[in-house]
Structure 1
Amino acid sequence: MKCDRGVGRRRAPARPWICFGIFLALILAAAAPAARAATVQPLEIVTKNGVQVFSVEMATTEEEKEKGLMFRKELADGKGMLFDFSPEQEVSMWMKNTYISLDMIFIRADGRILRIAENTEPMSTRIIPSGGLAKGVLEVIAGTAKKYGIEPGDRVGHPLFNGK
């Protein structure tokens, strides 16, 4: 990259660190929207088999909730995304533009699991309803509920649910 000061007249090249600074600023400005990291928090589910701990990305804004886990090619075991639908309400989800199968865990305001939609179909526009009032939805890789024995009625520990 050549960085000359002035137009029409030939001048001495600017100092390399100025060129580097401009170059870096342009790269950071272009990457700014993509660089925004989601908030990651721990979440626990108490099952008959014990406590399962997950590391979840929070989806709290409308934009984050609309995008969810779309376009991702993988999701590690023990990771997930927690959608905040405060206040408690009927919730509907879908798998449009979602390449990986998920378990969707619908959670009531009191932290109890309301319903689990297991092994959802990737790329589907079929509506997946909460089946009642939910304050949050936890999306984890398909097979997680079965693997850890997670069932409706199990308690979720996270500040979103009654401060626990």
Structure 2
Amino acid sequence: MKLWFIAALLLLTSCVAITATTDFPLVNLQLEQKTIQVQLAATPELRAKGLMFQQAADPGMLLLYAEPQHISLWMRNTSMPLDVAFIDTDWRIHHIRQLEPYDETSVPSEIAVIAALEMPRGWFAANQLAAGAQLTLLDH
């Protein structure tokens, strides 16, 4: 009986890990001259889930909103350090902020934004992308 319970618990845990990344569609995003594929969170439910419980920030996540709005992000149940780029209505990076693992402090956008792009810590700097960089959502 005890062995069956442990096996069922392991199976359930592995399913949660698998669905953490498969619930999100993947889209292509162009940042200046670089094209990447990221997870898309375009509904309130998917944006609320975000990268919580995922084991890695790769391939990144685009939080997309139907209308420009002031947003705030936090890192509840998110174990990896992230950089987030807040995207203005012209699809340019307005500003980038660092997010700390498990930090539930709200990190607000400075302006009304259409999207936020969450990437592994240091990704924007490594790819020489900063405020003003142009983004294009290629297949949405």
**Count of residue pairs the alignment pairs up:** 122
Q: Distance in 2 between matches of 1:66 and 1:147?
A: 28
CA deviation string 1:129-163 (max 9, x = no partner) = 11011000111111101101111111001159xx8
Whether the aligned pair in 1 keeps the contact of 2:28 and 2:138 (CA below 8 Å) is no
Whether the aligned pair in 2 keeps the contact of 1:87 and 1:135 (CA below 8 Å) is yes
* 1:128 to 2:120 alignment: no
| Poorly superposed stretches of 4+, deviation over 4 Å | none
Q: Distance in 1 between matches of 2:127 and 2:138?
A: 22
Alignment identity in percent? Answer: 30
Q: Distance in 1 between matches of 2:56 and 2:88?
A: 27
CA deviation string 1:69-102 (max 9, x = no partner) = 00112133xx211111220111110111100111
Q: Distance in 1 between matches of 2:70 and 2:138?
A: 20
* 1:100 to 2:85 alignment: no
Q: Distance in 2 between matches of 1:45 and 1:106?
A: 13
Q: Distance in 2 between matches of 1:128 and 1:159?
A: 27
**C-alpha deviation, 1:106, in angstroms:** 0.5
Q: Distance in 1 between matches of 2:23 and 2:45?
A: 13
- Structure 2 gaps of 5+ residues are 1-14
Q: Distance in 2 between matches of 1:111 and 1:159?
A: 12
* 1:70 to 2:52 alignment: yes
**C-alpha deviation, 1:108, in angstroms:** 0.9
Q: Distance in 2 between matches of 1:111 and 1:41?
A: 15
Secondary structure at the aligned position of 2:111 is classed as strand
Corresponding residue to 1:54 among 6, 25, 36: 36
- Structure 1 gaps of 5+ residues are 1-30
Question: What TM-score does the superposition give when structure 1 sets the normalisation length?
Answer: 0.69
Q: Counterpart of 1:67 in structure 2: which amino acid?
A: K
**C-alpha deviation, 1:117, in angstroms:** 0.6
Q: Counterpart of 1:109 in structure 2: which amino acid?
A: T
Question: What TM-score does the superposition give when structure 2 sets the normalisation length?
Answer: 0.80
Q: Counterpart of 1:137 in structure 2: which amino acid?
A: A
Whether the aligned pair in 1 keeps the contact of 2:31 and 2:134 (CA below 8 Å) is yes
Secondary structure at the aligned position of 1:132 is classed as coil
